[in-house]
Amino acid sequence: MLNEIKNDTSKRMQKCVDALKNELMKLRTGRANAALLDHVRVDYYGSEVPLSQAAQVTVEDARTIQIQAWDKSMIATIEKAIMTSDLGLTPNTAGQTIRINVPPLTEQRRKELAKVVKSEAEGAKVAIRNVRRDANQAIKELVKNKDISTDDEKRGETDIQKLTDQFVAKVDEMATTKEKELMSM
C-alpha cells in the first residue's frame, strides 16, 4: 500500500515538473527556438491545430525561425495566427517561406521574464507540496484504518519528504537554468 502511494506521488510530482517545463519553453529568451511557436494554433481547413501540424518549423540561425507551410494556401492563415499570438513576433513572408526574426530582449524585459520564471517555479513547488500533503493524508488514513503501523507511517512520510525534496530541487534547477538563459545575451 505504501509503495502504491509513493509511486502515485512520484508520478504526480513528475507531472508538476513537466508542466513547469512546458511553461518555461513558452517564454521567449531572445534566441530562436521552434518550441516558441508550440502553443500557436492555426485554422487548418475548419479545425484548430498546432502550427507544427500545418507547417514545418525550423530554426535557421540564432535569431531566425523558418516556417515552411505544407500547403501554399495556408501561408496567410499561419501569418495571421502568429500575429494574433501573445508572442509579439512579426512574420516576414518570402514566397512559400515565412521567417520570424526574434529580436533581442531589453534588460527590463529580461528582468520581467526572470520574475515570471520565479513565479512559475513557485507555482510548481506549491503543486508538489500539495501532492505531498495528499500522500501524507493517504498514509494517515491507512494508520487510522489500522492497515499499517505508526513505524510504517513515519517511514512513509520520510520517503514522501525525500521525493518532495528531489522534485523541488529539479524545479529550482530548471528555474535557475532558464534565468541564466534569459540574462545571457
What are the extents of the domains in the chain?
2-26+106-183, 34-101
Give the three-state DSSP class for 42: strand
Residue count of the chain: 185
Cα gap 170→182, rounded to integer Å:
18
Cα gap 180→89, rounded to integer Å:
22
Cα distances (angstroms) measured from residue 56 to each of 7, 97, 117: 38, 10, 28
pLDDT at 95: 82
Assign residue 166 a region: left if phi > 0, alpha if psi is -120 to 50, beta otherwise?
A: alpha
β-sheet with 64-69: strand ranges across: 55-61, 64-69, 97-101, 91-94
Phi and psi torsions of 50, nearest 5°: -60, 150
CATH number attached to the domain at 2-26+106-183: 1.10.132.20
pLDDT at 134: 94
The answer to whether the 2-26+106-183 and 34-101 domains have the same CATH topology is no
**Side chain identity at 148, as an amino acid letter?**
I
- pLDDT per residue of the chain (185 residues) written in tens, 0 to 9: 888 999 999 999 999 999 999 888 777 666 777 777 878 888 878 888 888 888 888 888 878 889 998 888 888 888 888 888 777 778 888 888 899 888 777 888 888 888 889 999 999 999 999 999 999 999 999 889 888 888 988 999 999 999 999 999 999 999 999 888 888 75
**All 3 cell numbers of residue 130?**
500539495
pLDDT at 108: 84
pLDDT at 168: 95
**Alpha-carbon torsion 115, 117, 120, 123, what sign?**
negative
Cα distances (angstroms) measured from residue 133 to each of 61, 63, 145: 46, 44, 18
Cα gap 124→130, rounded to integer Å:
10
User: Hey, what CATH class is 34-101 in?
Assistant: alpha beta
pLDDT at 166: 95
